[in-house]
Chain A
Amino acid sequence: MAATKTTVDITAAMVTEAVPLADWLLVAPVLLTMAGGAISIIFRKKSATQPWIAITTIALVILSNIGLLNHVLTNGVVTMVMGSWLPPFGIAFTADPLGALLALTASVATMCVAVFAMNSIAENERRYGFYPFLLMLLCGVTGSFLTGDIFNLYVWFEVLLISSFGMQILGNEKVQIDGAVKYAVLNLIATTLFLAATGLLYGLVGTLNMADIAGKLKAFDNSGPMLGLATLYFLAFAMKAAAFPVNFWLPASYHTPRLVVAAIFAGLLTKVGVYALLRVMLLLMPEGRDWLASLIGIVAIATMLTGSLGALAQTDIRRLMAYLVIAGIGAMMAGIAVGNEVAVSGAIFYSMHSVLIMTALYLLVAFMFQMSGTFSLREIGGLYIRTPLGAGIGLILLLAVAGLPPFSGFWAKLLLVAGALEAGRGWVAAGILVSGLFTTIAVGRLWIFAFWRGGNEHTVDGIQALPIAGSSDAADISWSIWLPLIVLTALIFVIGILPETMMSITENGAKTLIDPTAYIGSVFGGIR
């Protein structure tokens, strides 16, 4: 039986004019990483070629992301709708300066990790899929940064979570499974909250397209449900970002995976949570942010203080770094709590800085472990004599994470403090400064113990103790370990010396977030 065919004119619902080739840069990172991931799964047994597949793919992604950032900065917010279906029906990929900048930074950090892992991930763990997972993680992360659809954001969250579960248990140790369970359970709860909130939001406004939501919520009279939703989203993303008091999973799980894995987690995963907060709180629900501002401020201050105090209390370097991640999250949330252009620009700057610095610091920990054979601040020591270059890199990175000039962290904190004072939120500014002080003490203590002191804690001043058995010489450290460390340090240094370009990008990003006209205009073109 032949079905009766009805012809429907669908051209009204579709993009009909030609799309410039440059717009494909929006989907290129996702397509490239997916294809690269697939190819590296097919060649999973060839562990010698694995890194090169990943490195080539990520290099292409970096190039494409540079092109995209350039495209966004010259032409404003860029949108591409999947399958030519006009928004809000087609899923939109929308890149504003915030998304494009973070996507670029994330791909650079992933590249450094991919190179670093060439030597530090054992052969059999490569067979268990380190590189495919790394590529799919990057796929999920860039997808989250570039999508313009809130349900699609959820999907990318899933992609990156599944890959991160796989990466976390590389090595099959009991303690890793333990860490992974804590990580997985809390992340699943957060994802469920996110999904529930998205369902409710869809019930409220009948759309999932972020630009459409932003426009519709602005015209929404009944603010009660919207405020509830904002709170729900805040809780969900605060869990992902590891904000106080839902951050206990982070120090409990980040010291268990391989250090390169921890590096990419610390660099990217929490930042995706912060990015989602920026997007939802500032672009979609500015009213909700205003209403929650004091709460976010308190949470931010508590996160910064618990993070920096926690770092001060730790004797295991890996756990110390985990607390530094948390302290940084607090600073970014402070930017959201303040919410004016300067502070949001600072939060974007800090996110970018945090991706680089946290990746670099965990790689530094891996380097220090290889040099000294221990993670304990009591046992470690004498690294300055054995590796002056390593000590220099360590000093720059540690000062940068504390937010001291002339490194990238300083400018981010400067913007945050200036924004907070401008908005009359002196408490938030004080929180940033006090936590910066604690962080400085914590990292100073780390540097002095690990590099300056001659040996372990019983070493008398001026005496160089023998290295611990099992540690390697600086000459044995391969180029694949030095290169990522040096590149990341150089980036942090250059951004610190020449912050104007970066500041203009983050300022642009903050403007686009706070005034969504450009974003909405890009998605709906001249239609509305």
Chain B
Amino acid sequence: MNTLIFRTVAPYLSALMMLFSVFVLLRGHNEPGGGFIGGLIAVSAFAIYGIACGVSAVRRAMKFHPMSIAASGLLLAVVSVLPSLFLGQPAMTSQWLALPFLGTVIDLSTPLFFDIGVYLVVVGAISSIALSLEERAD
């Protein structure tokens, strides 16, 4: 896919998709969306970037190895289960924290962190597969 138009557009397109993936992740608690689908959108962004600019560019852009991203997501998901341990509640009971921020209120919760964990697992695992498949094609 070595066309000038695609190569020029791809970085902007993947940046937009990344932004959208975060939006989908965050709205997921009350509306359609969530970590899994958000993660898939993010991986598509990486894939488009990779098709246009090559695998090594994607690896540089990701900073961390995809497997490490997936693993840290899994760890985050596990940690997000724990707070209810200290409150005498069953595992995975959601804890909410309403945080006033610049005149509005941000609802932070353990399901949010669980969802971010899922997001990272999906991003890491699927992009690891996608990148190694693309590397073989080179």
* A residues with CB within 8 A of B: 15, 18-19, 21, 23-24, 27, 31, 34-35, 37-39, 41-42, 44, 80-84, 90, 93
Contact assessment for B91 and A41 in the assembled complex, using a CB-CB cutoff below 8 Å = no
Contact assessment for A42 and B71 in the assembled complex, using a CB-CB cutoff below 8 Å = yes
CB distance from A22 to the nearest CB of B (A): 12
Chain A proximity mask over B84-115: 1 for CB below 8 Å, otherwise 0: 11001111111000000000000000000000
Asked if B53 lies at the interface with its beta carbon under 8 angstroms from chain A, I say no
Chain B CB within 10 Å — which of A18, A31, A44, A90 has the most?
A31
Q: List, in ascending order, chain B residues with CB within 8 A of A38's CB.
A: 71-72, 74-75, 78
Contact assessment for B75 and A27 in the assembled complex, using a CB-CB cutoff below 8 Å = no
Asked if B126 lies at the interface with its beta carbon under 8 angstroms from chain A, I say no
Residue from A23, A42, A44, A83 in contact with B72 in the complex, judged by beta carbons closer than 8 Å: A42
Number of interchain pairs (Cβ within 8 Å): 62
Residue from B71, B72, B78, B90 in contact with A82 in the complex, judged by beta carbons closer than 8 Å: B90
Given contacts A31-B81, A34-B74, A35-B78, contact A82 B91 (CB under 8 A): yes
Contact assessment for A18 and B89 in the assembled complex, using a CB-CB cutoff below 8 Å = yes
Contact assessment for A15 and B89 in the assembled complex, using a CB-CB cutoff below 8 Å = yes
Q: List, in ascending order, chain B residues with CB within 8 A of A37's CB.
A: 71, 74
Cβ contacts A to B, 7 pairs, < 8 Å: A27-B91, A37-B71, A38-B71, A39-B71, A42-B68, A44-B67, A83-B93
Closest 6 CB pairs of A and B: A41-B71, A18-B88, A38-B74, A38-B75, A84-B93, A38-B71
Chain B CB within 10 Å — which of A39, A41, A93 has the most?
A41
Closest to B31 in A: A3
CA A21 – CA B81 in complex, angstroms? 14
Q: List, in ascending order, chain A residues with CB within 8 A of B71's CB.
A: 37-39, 41-42
Asked if B41 lies at the interface with its beta carbon under 8 angstroms from chain A, I say no
Q: List, in ascending order, chain B residues with CB within 8 A of A42's CB.
A: 68, 71-72, 75
Contact assessment for B89 and A84 in the assembled complex, using a CB-CB cutoff below 8 Å = yes
Main secondary structure of the interface of B (DSSP, over half): helix
Contact assessment for A82 and B92 in the assembled complex, using a CB-CB cutoff below 8 Å = yes
Main secondary structure of the interface of A (DSSP, over half): helix
Closest to A31 in B: B78
Asked if B18 lies at the interface with its beta carbon under 8 angstroms from chain A, I say no
CB distance from A116 to the nearest CB of B (A): 25
Contact assessment for A41 and B70 in the assembled complex, using a CB-CB cutoff below 8 Å = yes
Closest to B81 in A: A31
CA A37 – CA B72 in complex, angstroms? 10
Chain B CB within 10 Å — which of A24, A27, A83 has the most?
A83
Residue from B67, B68, B78, B89 in contact with A19 in the complex, judged by beta carbons closer than 8 Å: B89
Q: List, in ascending order, chain A residues with CB within 8 A of B75's CB.
A: 35, 38-39, 42
Closest to A26 in B: B91
Q: List, in ascending order, chain A residues with CB within 8 A of B92's CB.
A: 82-83
Q: List, in ascending order, chain B residues with CB within 8 A of A23's CB.
A: 90
CA A34 – CA B73 in complex, angstroms? 11
Contact assessment for A80 and B91 in the assembled complex, using a CB-CB cutoff below 8 Å = yes
Chain A CB within 10 Å — which of B72, B81, B89, B90 has the most?
B90
Contact assessment for B68 and A15 in the assembled complex, using a CB-CB cutoff below 8 Å = no
Contact assessment for A83 and B78 in the assembled complex, using a CB-CB cutoff below 8 Å = no
Given contacts A24-B85, A35-B75, contact A41 B67 (CB under 8 A): yes
Q: List, in ascending order, chain A residues with CB within 8 A of B89's CB.
A: 15, 18-19, 84
CA A18 – CA B82 in complex, angstroms? 15
Chain B CB within 10 Å — which of A42, A84, A90 has the most?
A42
Chain A proximity mask over B49-86: 1 for CB below 8 Å, otherwise 0: 00000000000000000011011101101110110110
Q: List, in ascending order, chain B residues with CB within 8 A of A34's CB.
A: 74, 77-78
Q: List, in ascending order, chain A residues with CB within 8 A of B84's CB.
A: 84
Contact assessment for B94 and A19 in the assembled complex, using a CB-CB cutoff below 8 Å = no
CA A37 – CA B67 in complex, angstroms? 12
CA A440 – CA B93 in complex, angstroms? 53
CA A90 – CA B90 in complex, angstroms? 11
Contact assessment for B74 and A83 in the assembled complex, using a CB-CB cutoff below 8 Å = no
CA A19 – CA B90 in complex, angstroms? 6
CB distance from A423 to the nearest CB of B (A): 40
Given contacts A31-B78, A35-B75, contact A80 B90 (CB under 8 A): yes
CB distance from A218 to the nearest CB of B (A): 27
CB distance from A99 to the nearest CB of B (A): 17
CA A269 – CA B89 in complex, angstroms? 33
Q: List, in ascending order, chain A residues with CB within 8 A of B94's CB.
A: 83
Contact assessment for A19 and B74 in the assembled complex, using a CB-CB cutoff below 8 Å = no
Q: List, in ascending order, chain A residues with CB within 8 A of B67's CB.
A: 41, 44
Closest to A83 in B: B92
CA A492 – CA B68 in complex, angstroms? 40
CB distance from B73 to the nearest CB of A (A): 8
CA A35 – CA B76 in complex, angstroms? 9
Q: List, in ascending order, chain A residues with CB within 8 A of B81's CB.
A: 27, 31
